[in-house]
Structure 1
Amino acid sequence: MTSPAERKSIAKIAANSRWARESDRTAATAAARKNSPASIEYWLKKVDPHEEMPYQERIKRAENAKAAYYARVMRKARQAKAAKAAKASGEAA
């Protein structure tokens, strides 16, 4: 089994090798960007996978779903930060 440092080194070599061969980085990452929660297309597929709603309604729902997702992410980050601070203050005492 490799150490975390060794795995990091292997991953870095692989990533740099891959990008050294890529002529069009934008095209190479297009699918990942389209399927990312940062993309409205991602949320359009989530809220109406069969495209049965009117487009404007799909957009509204997609924007709400995206906002809810990021609100949950921020909430979890705040909770984790608070838990870490509580643990640190408990250890310091």
Structure 2
Amino acid sequence: MRAASHYSWALTPDRTKRTDNARAAFQQKFLDQTKSPEYPDGDPIKAASLRKAFYAKLALKSAQSRRLARENGAA
């Protein structure tokens, strides 16, 4: 499967266009979380904050995982 994936991406002329739908859905997820009567389509400012919080949480988990791996490797 990995080889097929690499082959598929190698034959993709426009990589950005290929992932447009996924990126739009990811952004929509945050907009959906901020819907209110005032912002029926979602508040883009709050959505941006939610996205930043998502990535900050992801970075924290990554740092914790690397620290744990480093500590286990040294032991």
Q: TM-score, normalised by structure 1?
A: 0.58
Following superposition, the deviation at residue 11 of structure 1 comes to 2.5
Following superposition, the deviation at residue 44 of structure 1 comes to 0.9
Distance 2:5 2:66 in 1: 33
Instruction: Tell me, yes or no, if structure 1 residue 83 matches structure 2 residue 68.
Output: yes
Q: Which has the larger radius of gyration?
A: 1
Using the aligned pairs only, state the percent identity.
Answer: 19
Which residue does the alignment assign to 2:39?
54
Distance 1:63 1:18 in 2: 29
Following superposition, the deviation at residue 33 of structure 1 comes to 1.7
Instruction: Tell me, yes or no, if structure 1 residue 30 matches structure 2 residue 20.
Output: yes
Which one is further off, 27-36 or 69-78?
27-36
Question: Alpha carbon RMSD of aligned pairs, Å?
Answer: 2.7
- CA offsets 1:20-56 (integer angstroms, 9 cap, x no match): 3x565443321112123xx4x33112322xx63337x
Alignment of 1:61-80 (within 5 A): 61-80=46-65
Which residue does the alignment assign to 1:16?
7
In the comparison of the two structures, how many residue pairs are matched?
74
Distance 1:75 1:14 in 2: 29
Q: TM-score, normalised by structure 2?
A: 0.68
Distance 2:38 2:13 in 1: 39
> Which residue identity is paired with 2:33?
K
Which residue does the alignment assign to 1:4?
none
Gaps of 5+ in 2: none
Distance 2:6 2:50 in 1: 32
Distance 2:3 2:61 in 1: 29
Gaps of 5+ in 1: 1-9
